[in-house]
Structure 1
Amino acid sequence: MGCIRVGKGPVLVLVHGFLSGLSYWDKQIESLSTRFEVIAMDLPGYGGETQQTGLDTVAGFARTILEQLDKLGVKNFHLVGHSMGGMIAQEIALQAPERVNRLVLYGTGPMGELPGRFEPLKVSMEKVEKDGTKEAKHYTVASWFKQGDQDANFEPGMELAKDVSLQTYINGLNAMAGWSAVGRLDQIQSHTLVIWGDIDRSYIWQQPYALWQEIQNSSLAVMPLCSHNAHLENPQLFNQLLYDFLTHE
């Protein structure tokens, strides 16, 4: 499993989303490793691990991360999850509540079928099974930015997405579609920050709102004029939100 571990301080684990990789967090690793020991991993099937086939359950991804942290000797940690990675982070917090100190759920929600997404997951699966993933990857990654494929971060995002196999792509959609934390959010014990870009087309307001309302000890930050990849569109604000939340007494 591809992994980067840098910095000193409390351990901060970053979990990327669908079609992404640990390099999606470069702007956060550079900033936050001055105060935290930052660990970022490539999920199986993504980033530098595309020779593997990605898993088809969120719970399986969660177990994989916990096993990797065991190998690294990490017992307790702060946890940040983005998009599908936010679903995985919720599952980690539910599977191992005693290990997660503070939890950040960013651009994500508890409803795996993604109501209100720019297109239903079922439609995405039908398209790639018929036509392959090239076009689907382009419009999916473009949908994550306010400026679409004109954003400076679009091309690096496509470089990560292009090597994801058809089976990993389908497995990722199935993992999300087959998962839900609805009815379980009140079991999350960690102090939680929910972050959402106010023009996110992948996770509409219903999703972060449910997290904020149902997780007992939670706060909400809405990033204005930002889409699904708010951490790339406005990294200064995003990093400050993380730092303030993780260091607040």
Structure 2
Amino acid sequence: MADRYDVQFVTIHGHRRAYVRAGSGPVVLLLHGLGCDHTTWDAVIESLSRRYTVIAPDLLGHGQSDKPRADYSVGGYANGMRDLLTVLGIDKVTVIGHSFGGGVAMQFAYQFPERTERLMLVSSGGLGPEVTPAIRAITTPGFHEVMGVLTLPGVRHLGIAGLRTLSALGWKSTRDFDEVAEVFDTFKDPAARHAIRHVVRAVVDWHGQIVTMVDRAYLTEEMPMWVVWGRDDRVIPVRHASQAARVAPNARVEVIPDAGHFPHKDHPYRFSRIVHDFIRSTEPAKYSRARFRALLKDGGESAAPVPLRAVAEIS
């Protein structure tokens, strides 16, 4: 994955972490998905950085960050983002998470509401059990060994070429294969394969996703939350967007036609506009320990599920 922006590094808890910083203004934290890195946001960093300070890290075990034997749970990642922001002198952010990064974003908002101004989920994990079988397969015995064979130089190059050819055909079912090819290429590194396997096992088993925000969604009552999805997502079904709106009544949902699992790459201008509209039209959350305590004590029992509040399609 080529870099369009200068990558910076900081060492935290003995592990080197890579990140990109661009622009000025209110801070937007962009969290990538499984097997990706900060470059998945390249198409939108420039436009977002005209109005905001953009922080786009490589999560531990991904990209140019270290890949140690470490805690790869969503809680561990949320802690890592808190520590990174602290080192960078940033107190509060609008956090935007894609796919697995959406799960990390939700966990960050849950663990550190005093540092979260808004929450945006993009084709996010954590909203239902369904997930593509390709991700479930990572949890199976022998994945590391099989992938070691498939990523040998000749085999890997052939596989990448095949995935990119299928992506170029324009079929809805294969539209995301160019990104899949990038992820597949990272598996040539044994450390990356080990890290990804630990990440997936923490959130997915053979039956699907096992980590969910549903039981704690009521805590978003005091925080602006938008959900963005590609209508043609084949990795995590678009119906999970409706689930988000049902369990978080104040959430707004944007479903983008003619987009797959990476709507920020399929339609970067539209995505940037959505982010700007989100920030412009909402007030930053104001953390109240007393209110948070009251919500926890109530446990969401008084917040019955409600119909979908808003589903907007962008043509």
Alpha carbons of structure 1 residues 106 and 54: separation in structure 2 relative to 1, 3 Å: farther
Alpha carbons of structure 1 residues 243 and 162: separation in structure 2 relative to 1, 3 Å: farther
Q: Equivalent of 2:38, from 12, 15, 22?
A: 22
| Structure 2 partner of 1:69 | 85
| Structure 2 partner of 1:228 | 261
Task: Say what the alpha-carbon RMSD is for the aligned residues.
Answer: 2.9
1:39 aligns with 2:55: yes
Query: SS of the counterpart of 1:47?
Result: coil
* Counterpart residue identity of residue 19, structure 2: C
Provide TM-score, normalisation by structure 2. 0.69
Calculate percent identity across the aligned residue pairs: 26
| Structure 2 partner of 1:87 | 103
CA distance in 2: counterparts of 1:54 and 1:21, whole angstroms:
18
1:124 aligns with 2:138: yes
* Counterpart residue identity of residue 234, structure 1: H
CA distance in 1: counterparts of 2:81 and 2:176, whole angstroms:
33
Preserved CA contact (<8 Å) 1:102 1:191? yes
Q: Equivalent of 1:169, from 173, 177, 196?
A: 196
| Structure 2 partner of 1:245 | 278
Query: SS of the counterpart of 2:226?
Result: strand
Quick check: 102-111 or 162-171, which moved more?
162-171
Preserved CA contact (<8 Å) 2:175 2:260? no
Alpha carbons of structure 1 residues 47 and 244: separation in structure 2 relative to 1, 3 Å: same
CA distance in 1: counterparts of 2:253 and 2:175, whole angstroms:
28
Alpha carbons of structure 1 residues 209 and 161: separation in structure 2 relative to 1, 3 Å: farther
* Counterpart residue identity of residue 279, structure 2: L
Aligned residues: 246
Query: SS of the counterpart of 1:173?
Result: helix
1:49 aligns with 2:65: yes
What is the CA-CA distance between 1:170 and the residue it aligns to? Answer: 0.9
Preserved CA contact (<8 Å) 1:44 1:55? no
Larger Rg: 2
* Counterpart residue identity of residue 275, structure 2: L
Gaps of 5+ in 2: 1-16, 205-209, 283-315
CA distance in 2: counterparts of 1:233 and 1:119, whole angstroms:
23
| Structure 2 partner of 1:179 | 211
What is the CA-CA distance between 1:202 and the residue it aligns to? Answer: 1.6
| Structure 1 partner of 2:233 | 200
Preserved CA contact (<8 Å) 2:144 2:194? no
CA distances 1:196-239 after superposition (whole Å, capped 9, x unpaired): 00111121133222212212321000010111011111111111
What is the CA-CA distance between 1:172 and the residue it aligns to? Answer: 1.5
What is the CA-CA distance between 1:13 and the residue it aligns to? Answer: 0.6
Provide TM-score, normalisation by structure 1. 0.86
| Structure 1 partner of 2:94 | 78
Query: SS of the counterpart of 1:227?
Result: coil
CA distance in 2: counterparts of 1:131 and 1:206, whole angstroms:
32
Query: SS of the counterpart of 2:29?
Result: strand
CA distance in 2: counterparts of 1:206 and 1:79, whole angstroms:
22
What is the CA-CA distance between 1:25 and the residue it aligns to? Answer: 0.9
